[in-house]
Chain A
Amino acid sequence: GNSVTQMEGPVTLSEEAFLTINCTYTATGYPSLFWYVQYPGEGLQLLLKATKADDKGSNKGFEATYRKETTSFHLEKGSVQVSDSAVYFCALSDRKTSGSRLTFGEGTQLTVNP
């Protein structure tokens, strides 16, 4: 079956620090990969996506590269802001093997202090 493993949180950083949140996956097909962000009291927002190997997704200064050889999709940002404090979920979708389902990681809580 499919699975997603995220680095455990919580992660606490100072403003302007470099962020990496690790995500690795197991999938039997050819998944699409996503990062979703959930701000306090809100629903999930799609942050970025990549649909095939070596694709780089990017949005709002965040980046992640689909690495098939290491089955990874690590999230990075060069300089975090207080407003980036949220929970980040890595997810995959493999329509061939799991239909419409998104498989989520457990989530990583990020707190950025001023």
Chain B
Amino acid sequence: DTEVTQTPKHLVMGMTNKKSLKCEQHMGHRAMYWYKQKAKKPPELMFVYSYEKLSINESVPSRFSPECPNSSLLNLHLHALQPEDSALYLCASSQEGNSYNEQFFGPGTRLTVL
């Protein structure tokens, strides 16, 4: 299984809502990532988990809260978002300890904040 899955595929939320994005991989990878991608731009790194511990937080606003319940799952909790947070949110994973850092991406969640 070489797939990273993400749910939901689409999400529309108001600025006062709380929602969560979910990501799952069964490749035995020990590093997992959240990216934000705006239209016609490359992905921007938000968070990195390594062995279920947060290792990189790219100064992301606290309205985004990541969680890694186990080595296969990664969540992104959303609260009090702004319209400018509307984007494609991508999850990725890689085999920690691999010097090549080949990352496998999920299909993304298209988020719209009203």
A residues near B (Cβ < 8 Å) are 32, 34, 36, 42-46, 49, 51, 87, 89, 91, 93, 95, 99-102, 104-107, 109
Contacts and interface: CB of A to CB of B under 8 A. Distances in A.
Given A100-B31, A100-B55, A46 B41 contact: no
B86 interface: no
Contact of B108 (A43, A49, A104): A43
Interface residues of B, number: 27
A102 B101 contact: yes
A5 to B, nearest CB: 12
B11 interface: no
B105 to A, nearest CB: 4
A51 B100 contact: yes
Given A44-B43, A106-B41, A99 B103 contact: no
B100 A93 contact: yes
A93 B94 CA distance: 12
B33 A100 contact: yes
B33 A34 contact: no
